[in-house]
Amino acid sequence: MATIIYTHTDEAPLLATYSFLPIVQAYAAQAGVDVETRDISLAGRILAQFGLADDALGELGALARTPEANIIKLPNISASVPQLKAAVKELQSQGFDVPDYPESPSTDEEREIRATYDKVKGSAVNPVLRQGNSDRRAPASVKSYAKAHPHRMGAWTSDSRTNVATMGQHDFFSNEKSVVIGADDTLTIKHLAADGTETVLKDGIKVLAGEVVDGTFMDVAALRRFLTEQIARAKAEDVLFSVHLKATMMKVSDPIIFGHVVQAFFPTLFEQYGEQLAAAGISPNDGLGGLLGAAAALPEGEAIKAAVDTGLAEGPRMAMVDSDKGITNLHVPSDVIIDASMPAMIRTSGHMWGPDGNEEDTLAVIPDSSYAGVYQTVIDDCRAHGAFDPATMGSVSNVGLMAQAAEEYGSHDKTFEVPAAGKVQVVDAAGEVLIEHDVQPGDIWRACQTKDAPIRDWVKLAVTRARASGTPAVFWLDENRAHDAQLIAKVKEYLPEHDTDGLTIEIMAPAEATAYSLERIRRGEDTISVTGNVLRDYNTDLFPILELGTSAKMLSVVPLMNGGGLFETGAGGSAPKHVQQLVKENYLRWDSLGEFFALVPAFELYAEQAGRPGAKVLADTLDRATGTLLNEDKSPTRRVGGIDNRGSHFYLALYWAQELANQSDDAELAAVFKPLADTLAAAEDTIVAELNGVQGSPVDIGGYFRPDDEKASAVMRPSKTLNEAIASLG
């Protein structure tokens, strides 16, 4: 039986679900549409790993491989180690028997526990559900609204000193080797130490004919030299120092790189107290905040804090996450995530916040050079031509290669910190060495896989979108990168399988593709960026944040390779701040537009799957209601006093009921919704007063990672009048 699955996730999107889902389920039921939930939150996934909850993610992963799939996926926490530890602590406080996360496992039991938690860390959800490639673009209604009501953009000047610093050599980009697998096989990754010791790092890696397999490493000695140079450069140029990584998604490599940045910024601290910190299990990978918190219990705690203060005073001024609270760029690895932090910096005149709370030019350190040039190109463009104008600028949509854990985000279980000098090899079942690197202790080595079928589907989707939109499509691939060279060959092989007559389809290196797209943007022209998995993530934040002010307003459709659909609802990068504001002020500024947009194609798909025309009526009327919501400016405001997330849900319910009451495609539905539309319109002032009247005071939702359902529902549904009106549908 056809069902729409609405996922129960984390943070602000989860809180919004308590308010919005009852409306969706009540309206959908009138058209015979079933909307169910599955818990794929971080807390739910932890409990499932230890047999304390159903494995909803596994269930949905299986569903995503079938034509019956119809899944609405809200943003998840991609857990860093500090977030994972905090979630475990909260679950334990709620009475769940889950073990502590072992930072440095020393027994078989601890290693097994660590391996179990590793399944939950980072981007654990997306590779399971994304059994198709990504089609992400701004809906016409959102683009029109942005042009009519342009968001604020910081001014740029030609003398801006903001720049990107990247290694350019001895990094993942420059060390990459890539092969195409000739026949189905099983691979092994092994480490051969200089003394002859052989260690299997990963075996049983199944690969298919035509699959692209890559191996590369970050030379950590070169990384440390680079970081030391950039810290000195930031001080010499008198700009803020900042580092931009993906420590949540790249859950093995980037936290280690982050730890090296912490050590490079505080060399004296680690020279003097490194042994004591290590002995106490305190890792720089967890950030300065974790280090200071844990070190306070050590005998040297005061001296360690003093050494940190000295390092901050003597080094360049550091970019801040929260100047008022003294939270620096290096406090928490998940606080400054490149795909959100770099667009926000570019939108704000190339500035970040300094220790004094003022905006200043910044040296943005992005160690690996694979995509750093994208951001430098945008910065150079703004320096030369000024800020972009949302009222006139074009759009850059995205077709992203991500199906079946394609590319870097699929590499978590194939990323290793090298234990000793020697070689890392990728070997096939016959013992032939496919990839080999000479490595030193501490180097970060990783492999990733990209299957052939997703690449074929990606090329097809790019041509389909170019044809449907009449827009040039550019494959962002660099012939000088080993992996990209293999993909370029496949793109050139598969493009002739499709009708490309009259279409503009190009292949350009990322920096060149950026410049091409920016030139078109400034002329008000649109471009499709056709990218791999990581660039998909970067571009679907970079361009929407510049164009729309947020990436949460994007339509994100994943046509699944076996049929069915996955509909994603936008990014969750600022969700933690939203939750903090709700708990403090009973005000949730999360914007659910992404959820509204995702429901439209989900209802359309349900109409096809179940043969229920009423579902198509729900889709059409919801689409029009969302347009009205935007035109009437009923999206959440940022501060107490305006309508928040709950208020926007009321107005959507009102406009949707009115559209359903006035449509002529289904007289029965119109008759059902006419009384509700009248009731909501008549009670508008009362409902808004009830919703806004609760603002301003702290609330208890019973937990951050696993809220108490009754408490959270009470907080998120404070209007008795609205609740009764929705319940009247039966």
pLDDT digits (tens, 9 = 90+) for 238-272: 999 999 999 877 888 999 999 999 999 999 999 99
Q: How many other CB atoms are found less than 10 A from the CB of residue 247?
A: 29
pLDDT over threshold 70, residue 410: no
* Direct distance between the N- and C-terminal alpha carbons of the chain, in angstroms, rounded to an integer: 22
Provide CB contacts within 8 A for 337, sequence distance 6+: 244, 245, 246, 247, 248, 573
pLDDT over threshold 90, residue 601: yes
Q: In degrees rounded to 5, what are phi and psi of residue 595? A: -65, -40
Contact 97, 591 (CB under 8 A): no
- The tokens for 462 are 């790019």
Q: At what angle do helices 338-347 and 372-385 cross, to 10 degrees?
A: 10
Using pLDDT thresholds of 50, 70 and 90, give the confidence band for residue 577: confident
Using pLDDT thresholds of 50, 70 and 90, give the confidence band for residue 329: very high
Displacement of CA 589 from its chain's centroid (Å): 19
Using pLDDT thresholds of 50, 70 and 90, give the confidence band for residue 122: confident
Give CA separation, 634 vs 70, 363, 629, in Å.
28, 38, 5
Report which DSSP code applies to 664.
S
Q: Within 523-644, where are the H helices? A: 533-548, 575-585, 593-610, 613-631
- The tokens for 57 are 């993610």
- The tokens for 308 are 């940190």
**3-state secondary structure at position 457:** helix
Cα torsion for 250, 546, 579, 632, to the nearest 10°?
-150
pLDDT over threshold 70, residue 123: yes
**3-state secondary structure at position 191:** strand
What is the DSSP annotation of 237-304? HT-EEEE-B-TTTSTTHHHHHHHHHHHHH-HHHHHHHHHHHHHTT--GGG-HHHHHHHHTTSTTHHHH
Residue 149, phi-psi category: left (phi > 0), alpha (psi -120 to 50), beta (remainder): beta
Give CA separation, 448 vs 355, 405, 432, 435, 545, in Å.
39, 9, 18, 12, 29
Contact 132, 71 (CB under 8 A): no
> pLDDT above 70 covers what percent of the chain?
99
- The tokens for 119 are 């399944």
Residue 325, phi-psi category: left (phi > 0), alpha (psi -120 to 50), beta (remainder): alpha
pLDDT over threshold 80, residue 137: yes
Report which DSSP code applies to 412.
G
Using pLDDT thresholds of 50, 70 and 90, give the confidence band for residue 405: confident
Distance CA 714, CA 710 (A): 6
Distance CA 133, CA 238 (A): 43
- The tokens for 658 are 């009115």
Reported as half-sphere exposure (CB side, CA atoms, 13 A), residue 224 has a value of 12
Distance CA 432, CA 427 (A): 5
CA-nearest of 328, 375, 319, 343 to 154 is: 343
How high is the pLDDT of residue 80? 82
How high is the pLDDT of residue 411? 65
- What amino acid is encoded at 525 in this protein? E
Strand partners, 245: 337
How high is the pLDDT of residue 691? 97
Lowest mean pLDDT, pick from 75-84, 335-344, 706-715? 75-84
Q: How many other CB atoms are found less than 10 A from the CB of residue 130?
A: 26
Distance CA 273, CA 296 (A): 13
- The tokens for 307 are 């050494």
Report the run of H or E that residue 231 belongs to, with start and end. helix 220-237
pLDDT in tens, 298-315: 999 999 999 999 999 999
Contact 451, 444 (CB under 8 A): no
pLDDT in tens, 458-514: 999 999 999 999 999 999 999 999 999 999 999 999 999 999 999 999 999 999 999
Mean pLDDT (the chain) is 94
Provide CB contacts within 8 A for 482, sequence distance 6+: 176, 177, 178, 214, 216
Strand partners, 374: none
> pLDDT above 90 covers what percent of the chain?
86
Report the run of H or E that residue 567 belongs to, with start and end. strand 565-568
**3-state secondary structure at position 503:** coil
Cα torsion for 150, 156, 161, 166, to the nearest 10°?
40
Residue 180, phi-psi category: left (phi > 0), alpha (psi -120 to 50), beta (remainder): beta
Report which DSSP code applies to 496.
G
Distance CA 605, CA 368 (A): 41
Contact 556, 136 (CB under 8 A): yes
How high is the pLDDT of residue 37? 97
What does the pLDDT average to over 28-34?
A: 97
- Length of the chain in terms of residues written: 730
- What amino acid is encoded at 630 in this protein? L
- What amino acid is encoded at 710 in this protein? E
What does the pLDDT average to over 55-81?
A: 93
Q: In degrees rounded to 5, what are phi and psi of residue 567? A: -120, 115
CA-nearest of 547, 538, 540, 541 to 520 is: 547
Lowest mean pLDDT, pick from 9-13, 79-83, 363-367, 723-727? 79-83
What does the pLDDT average to over 646-665?
A: 98
What does the pLDDT average to over 121-132?
A: 86
Contact 264, 224 (CB under 8 A): yes
pLDDT over threshold 70, residue 83: yes
Q: Within 358-418, where are the H helices? A: 372-385
